[in-house]
Structures are given as structure tokens and as C-alpha cells.
Structure 1
Amino acid sequence: MPSSSPSTYVTRHTRPEHPARRLVCFPHAGGAASFFRPWARYVDPSVELLAVQYPGRENRFREALIPTMNPLASAIADELLTLPPLPTVFFGHSMGAAVAYETLLRLQQTGAAAHIARLCVSGRSPDGAAGPAVQTDEELVEAVRCLGGTHAAVFDDPDLRELLMPAIRNDYHLIDSYRRRTDAPLLHADVHALTGDRDPRVTPEEAAGWSAVTSGSFAVTVLEGDHFYLVPAAERVARLTMEPVEPLPV
């Protein structure tokens, strides 16, 4: 069974003896590293599959939540710097797309991102969804239900709801208060945006806005489904992240 590495932000889902590449996955708001555990069945055996574990959930349940982007992305970057360099892809879904982007920016600023070949951003536009921030727990529950995904059913269980709500509340506050810097340096890594064709949070056209954050190549893939299109399409998405993609025409 996969276990956490000494780096508390990193959970290892595969441990190839001689890894050739690395895939680092960043979960959505309220999500955890285990969301990406099924991907271990779909990536090539030579791929080291890692998932970021935010504080306040699963094996880090008793740790303090981090309510803002800057300390979270900086802490993740610091721990990823302790890993030996490998050709690497970042994949982030929803809030995780923004966390992955900010983490990569920090790694690039240290000069330690040359081995990171691609950023895959899923279910989010570069500047997030428009609209008012959710305020009450009832609004949070309704927002999560509208998006679908694995959390929706657990709200019917009062005990599970009580366990999950602090992390969800924290993460929605984090991503609602986050604003991407318009003067941020361009990424050197290629960027691949993925989204569902019925995602209420981001249209394919909005996802294409990620092309503005990189000097590398850019591609968009639209798959069938809602905000959590990647759950039924886990195998295809896992494989897409590690495969070459055709850039959009200039």
C-alpha cells in the first residue's frame, strides 16, 4: 500500500526501482492525496506517481490548515526541492491547478525547475470562476453538490460532514481569496489545459486562457463530463498527462 514519504507534503502512490519520470498531482478544494491513488494503475511502471497532501486531511488530519496560497505553495515547493531531479509533469485539478501553477512559479524562481517539462491544469481558468464567494456551510455544501464529484454523497452523513467541512471551508476561502499575479514571469514549461465540456466553473474558451502564462507550447483537451470529468475518465486523463500533445496552431 502506498505510504507517505518523509516529506509530509508528498504521498507516493508508486515506487519504481529506477524511475524515469515523475508525475506530481495536486488535489482540488477539500481533496486529498488519495484522490489520485487509482492513477497508479494507469501510468507507465517507470513513472513515479506522487500526490500532494495538504494539511488537515487524511494522515495530516490533526495539522493546522493553511488558509492562503502563498505559504501553501512555498511549503510545497520547499519539499519538492528535496527530491532528486527527474523529468516531471505537474497535474492540478480545480484549486489544485492554481496551487500547482504557484508552486511551479516558485521552483522556477529558484532556478530548480528545468526538469519540469509540463504543467497540466484541469477544471480551472487561470483567474478562476467569476461570481460571489460562498459564505455559509450551507452555501459550501450546495456549491460542492453542484460540481458533483466524490464529496457530494458524504454530506448526507452528519459525522462525515463534520470531518470534511473544516478542510472544505478552508480551501474555498483560500481559492476565493487567491488572485494570480498579472506581472508573474512566464513559465518555461509547456502547459496543457483540460476541462469537461459541461463544467459549470470553466468553459473551454476560459481554460484556453492558460496559454498566456507560458513561453512554452500550449494545448487544450476537452473531455465529456462536468467539473469532475476526470473521475470516470481517470485512465485517459492519467495517460494524457504523460503523453506528448499537439500544440494549438499559432
Structure 2
Amino acid sequence: MTTHDTTSTWVRAYAPAPAAPIRLVCLPHAGGSASFWLPVAKALSPQVDVVAIQYPGRQDRRHEPCIDNLPELALRIHEVLGQLDDRPTALLGHSMGATVAFELAQLMETDRPAAHVFVSGRRAPSATRHETVHQRDDDGLLAEVRALAGTDSRLLQDEEIMRMALPSVRNDYRAAETYEWKQGEPLSCPVTALIGDADPKAHIPEVEAWARHTTGSFAMEVLPGGHFFLLDHSARVLDVIRTALAQS
């Protein structure tokens, strides 16, 4: 554990719910930050204690080196979460964050298995693709971000801000695109996959393959939209999460 691995550095609680019976740890997408999950925290509190992870290399952690290895990133997060109380803990990750959630859940199997894992906008670890977006020049990388429309439209129009964010975006794309699944024991917890029916980054058969990665129950929710479908269907996404956590 490094000197940067403290809960206050990694873990953000936007709507603390210390009396909630379950915790939901949220993992951002490539180039994303903890604040992406602020609406989820506010919507689920006080029934669920939602915390979001702030990766190094962005916002208030922009002076720290990024981590371009997803298993290493998951290991660092696992060490930090070990400093929290031992309430049942579920995981929610979008896009790259879904893969981080999977790696984190594998680590949790050795001590306190996840209560539930929600994977959004991401193909299963066993469904591989050859992708090289991280090797594009800056303009090409910006074009990819704009095409997926996951960043606030006002920020997308601010060229200076977007170019300042490029190092973390490129790092995360590299981490996601060079990730290699190491076959091992499946998870024991329930897994719920959320997907947009027109998502270019995760086709439905690739998302259905998540069922192979758990011995627990598997459910899939298909909603209209592209890669960031959850922004347009937040009410339904929250209902799915609430229902699943109540059962957990």
C-alpha cells in the first residue's frame, strides 16, 4: 500500500448513509471520475451507503500517476476498502469500471465476497476484442470521446478542458484495451448486466457472456441507447439496483 492509499484519497461519499445495511461501491468509466456517480449516491441514500472511487490522475488527484493496469488498480482499491467497516458491499461499474468491478470482486472472494456486482456498458471479460483507440493521436482520441457522448456536453465544447483530460483518458483506454482476462474460478455472487441496445462498445451476446463468470444468479437489463444509456434511463437503472440490493 502506498502513501496515497487512504480512504479519503480514494473513496468519496456524496450522500453518506452510515446506518444503511449495505454499501455500494461505484467504479467510473475510462476518463471518468468519482463525481459521475453523485446522482446515484443522492438517489439511493439513506437506504444504501453509496461511495464512489476516485482513480489517480484526475481532478484533485491529477498530479498522481495514472494506473494503466486494471488488476493493479483493483488491488489498490481492495486494500483501501479493507479499511472500511465490514458491511455487505456491492459493486457497480460502468464500461472500464465494470472490468475493475469484476477484478475487485475476484479479490473480495478471498475475504468477504461481494453482495452483488452490477456491470454496465461492458462486455464480459471472456469476450475479447482487439481495440487500439489508445494509440490514436489526440484528435482521434477526442473524436472517440465525443462519439460516445459520455462527458457533459459543455465540457466537450471546451477544447482546453478536454485536452487537459487527455492523459487520463488515454491511460484508461490503454488499461481497458490491453486488459487480459486470466481464467480462474467464477464469482459466487449475483451479477446484473446493464446494456444499451445500440452500444458500439458492448454488443448483447458479449454482455450475455457475463453469465459464465459467476455461479450466482445472472440477470441482464437491455435499455434503449448507446454507450451511456444509463444517463437517459437513470430511473430504470436505479430501480434495478434497488430491487437487486433489497434481495441481497
Matched, 1:184 2:184: yes
| Structure-1 residue corresponding to 2:65 | 64
Equivalent residue of 2:116, what SS? strand
Partners of 1:124 and 1:17 lie apart in 2 by 30
Question: What do residues 161-211 of structure 1 show as CA deviations (whole Å, max 9, x unaligned)?
Answer: 222101101000111110111x22110111001100111111222111000
1:24–1:88 contact (8 Å) kept in structure 2:
yes
Equivalent residue of 1:193, what SS? strand
Question: What do residues 79-136 of structure 1 show as CA deviations (whole Å, max 9, x unaligned)?
Answer: 1111111222211000000001001111213x222xx211111101113662431212
AA of the residue aligned to 2:222: V
Q: TM-score, normalised by structure 1?
A: 0.88
Matched, 1:239 2:239: yes
**Shift in CA distance, 107/17, structure 1 to aligned 2, threshold 3 Å:** closer
AA of the residue aligned to 1:133: T
1:144–1:152 contact (8 Å) kept in structure 2:
no
Equivalent residue of 1:199, what SS? coil
Number of aligned residues: 237
Partners of 1:220 and 1:196 lie apart in 2 by 11
Q: Point out where structure 1 has 5 or more consecutive residues left out of the alignment.
A: 246-250
More helix by share: 2
2:27–2:93 contact (8 Å) kept in structure 1:
yes
| Structure-1 residue corresponding to 2:78 | 77
| Structural mapping, 1:1-250, within 5 Å | 6-109=7-110, 111-113=111-113, 116-127=114-125, 130-134=129-133, 135=135, 136-150=137-151, 154-181=155-182, 183-244=183-244
Partners of 1:129 and 1:227 lie apart in 2 by 17
Partners of 1:96 and 1:18 lie apart in 2 by 26
Q: Point out where structure 2 has 5 or more consecutive residues left out of the alignment.
A: 1-5
Partners of 1:33 and 1:129 lie apart in 2 by 27
Which runs of at least 4 in structure 1 moved beyond 6 Å after TM superposition? Answer: none
Percent of paired sites with the same residue:
37
| Structure-2 residue corresponding to 1:248 | none
Identify the range of structure 1 (123-132 vs 167-176) with the bigger mean alpha-carbon deviation.
123-132
Instruction: Give the CA deviation at 1:152.
Output: 5.9
Equivalent residue of 2:122, what SS? coil
Equivalent residue of 2:222, what SS? strand
1:199–1:225 contact (8 Å) kept in structure 2:
yes
Q: TM-score, normalised by structure 2?
A: 0.89
Instruction: Give the CA deviation at 1:236.
Output: 2.3
* RMSD over aligned Cα atoms: 1.8
Partners of 2:187 and 2:97 lie apart in 1 by 17
